[in-house]
Structure 1
Amino acid sequence: MLISGILETCLYAADLVAAERFYAHVLGLDVVGREDGRHVFFRCGNGMLLIFNPNRTSMELSFIGGAKIPSHGARGPGHVAFAIMERDLDAWREKLAQAGIEIESEVAWPQGGRSLYLRDPAGNSVELATPQIWGSAFRAS
């Protein structure tokens, strides 16, 4: 048995309106679900990015179809890296500048590939990275 990939990952943000504006309008992810004050979900390639409000999800149990979903939540900045094409680095720099998003760091990795680091409105570390940083097995579409 092998794990074939990451189906979903989540970050936490109390201000879901700002999170949705950032991930949908700046990064261009499609919103596929939301519950005001609780969560907003985004399609990201073949996977999902879930943004939860920890003020709600760390305090409540959820039930879906009779199944109990455990409470969860985290405080402090998390991290997510999105795969981008190397040829799009300049366009990403320009788009981020136009949106008033500061690039915190840019890294040229010794093994190949590049990363742009920035922060979302909740302070989470967001990386836009060319897949070469992890070798040829990872590809951006």
Structure 2
Amino acid sequence: MTDIRPPLLGTMETALYADDLTAATAFWQDVMGLTAFQTVPGRHVFFRIGDTPHPQVLLVFRAEATERPAPPDARLPVPSHGARGPGHFCMAVGRDHIDDWCRHLQSHDVGIEADFHWPNGARSIYFRDPAGNSIELAEPSLWA
């Protein structure tokens, strides 16, 4: 038996959960600037994140809709899933844009919960989306 694993390319999608998809859409599009590319009313809204070599997507689901198993004849039989309570999502931002993001968020009445420098010198800010999820914008060097 061998322990050689095939390579991974990176994170492709991240999921958050929200009861109010209209508020989630307004926040992620109008405040954060992401592009919604797929919506199923009452179930989910999917957003593209930046221009990268491979697709990166934020999936926002209503847990109540996705906790139910797919019917046996479903065209896309995705396994049921869901989470309750606030989640966490972090996006990378250049050091020279964090202050710009602080001003932008405050201009949209989004309060900054934390703004600090990590022991390695990287900076990040935390705030909440309308569903109460903890959102972080951080310098990529945080995990370097």
User: Corresponding residue for 2:67?
Assistant: 58
Structure 1 counterpart of 2:8, one-letter code: I
User: Corresponding residue for 1:96?
Assistant: 105
Structure 2 counterpart of 1:42, one-letter code: F
Residue aligned with 1:68, SS: coil
Q: Which of the two has greater strand per residue? A: 1
1:110 equivalenced with 2:119 (yes/no): yes
User: Corresponding residue for 1:35?
Assistant: 40
CA displacement 1:60-89 (0-9 Å, x = unmatched): 41633xx42111111001100001111111
Structure 2 counterpart of 1:74, one-letter code: A
Give the fraction of aligned pairs with identical amino acids, expressed as a percent: 45
The number of residue pairs the alignment matches comes to 133
Q: Which aligned runs of 4 or more in structure 1 are off by greater than 3 angstroms?
A: none
TM-score, with structure 1 as normaliser: 0.90
Match of 1:119 among 97, 119, 128: 128
User: Corresponding residue for 1:80?
Assistant: 89
Residue aligned with 1:11, SS: strand
Structure whose alpha-carbon radius of gyration is higher: 2
Unaligned runs of 5+ in 1: 136-141
CA displacement 1:80-114 (0-9 Å, x = unmatched): 00011111111101101100000000120111211
Unaligned runs of 5+ in 2: 1-5
TM-score, with structure 2 as normaliser: 0.88
Structure 2 counterpart of 1:11, one-letter code: L
CA displacement 1:28-77 (0-9 Å, x = unmatched): 1111110111000000133000000011111241633xx42111111001
